[in-house]
Amino acid sequence: SGCTQNLLLEALDDLGEDNFKRFKNKLRAAPLEERYKAISWLQLEKGDPVDVSNLLISHYGERYGVEVTVQVLGDINQRDLAERLSRAERDPFQKEIRIFYEHFVSQHREQLIQQVMAVDGILDSLCGSVLDLEQIQSIRAERSSMEKMRKLYELVPKWDNDCKDRLYQALKEKHRPLVEELEGI
């Protein structure tokens, strides 16, 4: 979500030029959990704070991206900044669950469009709370379940987290095995 990216960007912006260079050097050698790969030096070296915060999220996802950043900030003696970032990340206004759901619905857009078959059931769950009748009818008018999902996804960027949560819950009810597979459970 934009929130996590902004937090990372603020932290990297606050470093100042020299410390930002040290941050990139340390990041290159940071010990990572097994399933993650290091960001290439080619990408890091020329990157500004915006690029590097993008790279952190695209390589490590939001939660682990913050974790790695906090760890590297600690390594270069920027403990105050590390503390501030981990506090902001735990802030009740940004419940981790919300970040995760939003992330799930947006992150797995393609797989969900291709694999969700029970679109009508999902539309029923979203009726009234997220979608109005007109939107539902226009989605139902599409021929295949893939086209219906694609049409549904055209609306998603305008939704707030509550709406995305509801889509996630509906997907979980109707397609639990698929959701669990995508979540890597």
pLDDT along the chain (185 residues), means of 10: 77 92 95 91 93 93 91 93 82 50 75 95 93 95 96 88 86 93 81
Distance CA 134, CA 185 (A): 36
The confidence score (pLDDT) of residue 80 equals: 86
Phi-psi sector, 40: left (phi>0), alpha (psi -120 to 50), beta: beta
Distance CA 56, CA 39 (A): 8
The confidence score (pLDDT) of residue 101 equals: 46
Q: Give the residue carrying structure tokens 């509550």.
A: 162
The confidence score (pLDDT) of residue 91 equals: 64
CB-CB neighbours of 179 under 10 Å: 19
The confidence score (pLDDT) of residue 15 equals: 92
The confidence score (pLDDT) of residue 120 equals: 95
The confidence score (pLDDT) of residue 48 equals: 94
Dihedral (C-alpha) 178, 180, 184, 185: value to the nearest 10 degrees?
A: -150
Q: Is 102 exposed, middle or buried (0-12, 13-18, 19+ CB in 10 A)?
A: buried
The tokens describing 121, both together, are 């059931």
The confidence score (pLDDT) of residue 134 equals: 95
The confidence score (pLDDT) of residue 39 equals: 94
